[in-house]
Amino acid sequence: MNSLFDDDVLAADCLEQIGTWQDPYPIPVIEMHDGIAVVRDDLLNAGTKVRGADYLIGHDPRYAHITEWVYGSCPSTGYAQISLPTVCARYQKRAVLFMAERRLTTLHPYQQRGLDAGADVRWVPNGMLSVTQARARRYVEESPSTRMLLPIGLEHPTVFGAFIRVARNLSIVPQYVWSVGSSGTLNRALQLAWPDAEVHVVSTGHQMSPREIGRAHFHRSPYAYNKAVPLSERPPFPSAAEYDAKAWVPMINWYRTTRPTNSGSVLFWNVGA
């Protein structure tokens, strides 16, 4: 992404790839909290990426033959392990996840929610990210006609296109946009959706690359990706303590300093809880 012109071209291409698709999930709920318009996608109970992955998994004719969608890039705290089986179940597909086996005796709540949603989890002992990704690739190579490997962050043109359409269908056009980012897929899609907005991303996982950050103002959370935000720093609505909630304090501090004049001009995308 080298310029707004390039972004406009990319956005148009991503939208073209999804054709007339419209989001089958409930319209995003927007609530005002402390002067900020919050997209309450925690109400989906499966995360925003069910919206992004819907066309790819359920409607893209190029992949109609795929019966297993395979992912090897999800940490124990990630929402993909919930979103992917939810979308796959909707279209009679299987979500196969290669994940590091935790040394703890109990699963992370998101892991249990993923299993409850129908995820086929293949546990990898001592599975670093590179190892789980390699195992996922090898699994797909065993049956490439029926299995498809999903990239980290579900970074795919149709996923960008779906997010752009969902965002542009909202009832507001924000001047400022905030979200957290690991792969940065959602945040970069919001950059494409609203090219005139000032966008901010709070990194919660690996060190984001310039490509993953795009044109966003970058903020790094002081908390490790698997550490929950203290209760005192969490927002006044349900939010993923190890993910979305990490943006609340940086955003509020920025808001109090910047003091945007238009009500609802700042939008925060809450992916889940």
Residue at a domain's end among 122, 137, 154: 154
Closest CA to 135 of 154, 120, 122, 118: 122
Say if residue 162 is in the same domain as residue 29: yes
What pLDDT score was predicted for residue 76? 85
Say if residue 126 is in the same domain as residue 166: no
Distance CA(53)–CA(78), nearest Å, equals 15
Say if residue 124 is in the same domain as residue 103: yes
Say if residue 109 is in the same domain as residue 170: no
CB neighbourhood size of 234 (10 A): 19
Closest CA to 248 of 263, 260, 236: 236
Q: What DSSP letter does each residue of the chain carry, written as one string? A: --SHHHHHHHHHHHHHHTTT----SPPPPEEEETTEEEEEGGGGSS-THHHHHHHHHHT-GGGTT--EEEE----TT-SHHHHHHHHHHHTT-EEEEEEEPPSSSS--HHHHHHHHTT-EEEEETT--HHHHHHHHHHHHHT-TTTEEEPPGGG--HHHHHHHHHHHHTSS---SEEEEEESS-HHHHHHHHH-TTSEEEEEE-SS---HHHHTTSEEEE-SS-TTSPPPGGGS-SS---TTTGGGGHHHHHHHHHHH--SSTT-EEEEE---
Say if residue 192 is in the same domain as residue 253: yes
What pLDDT score was predicted for residue 143? 97
Length of the chain: 273
Taking CB atoms within 8 Å and a gap of at least 24, the contacts of 216-221 are: 216/181, 216/184, 216/187, 216/188, 216/191, 219/247, 219/250, 221/180, 221/246, 221/247, 221/250
Say if residue 193 is in the same domain as residue 255: yes
Say if residue 31 is in the same domain as residue 162: yes
What pLDDT score was predicted for residue 142? 97
Q: State pLDDT tens for residues 208-257.
A: 889 999 999 999 998 888 889 999 999 999 999 999 999 999 999 999 88
Q: State pLDDT tens for residues 122-166.
A: 999 877 889 999 999 999 999 999 999 999 989 999 999 999 999
What pLDDT score was predicted for residue 2? 45
Say if residue 39 is in the same domain as residue 133: no
Residue at a domain's end among 121, 154, 187: 154
Residue at a domain's end among 85, 119, 154: 154
Residue 227: both structure tokens together? 């550490």
Say if residue 108 is in the same domain as residue 161: no
Domain holding 124: CATH number?
Answer: 3.40.50.1100
Q: State pLDDT tens for residues 26-41.
A: 999 999 998 899 999 9
Q: State pLDDT tens for residues 209-221.
A: 899 999 999 999 9
Range of the domain at 130: 51-154
CB under 8 Å to 138, separation ≥6 — which residues? Answer: none
Verdict on whether the full-model pTM lies above 0.85: yes
- Using CB atoms within 10 A of its CB, is residue 224 exposed (0-12), middle (13-18) or buried (19+)? exposed
Say if residue 71 is in the same domain as residue 85: yes
What pLDDT score was predicted for residue 5? 56
Number of structural domains found in the chain: 2
Can you give the three-state secondary structure of 230-260, one letter per residue?
Answer: CHHHCCCCCCCCCCHHHHHHHHHHHHHHHCC
Distance CA(79)–CA(225), nearest Å, equals 13
Say if residue 199 is in the same domain as residue 74: no
What pLDDT score was predicted for residue 226? 84
Say if residue 145 is in the same domain as residue 162: no
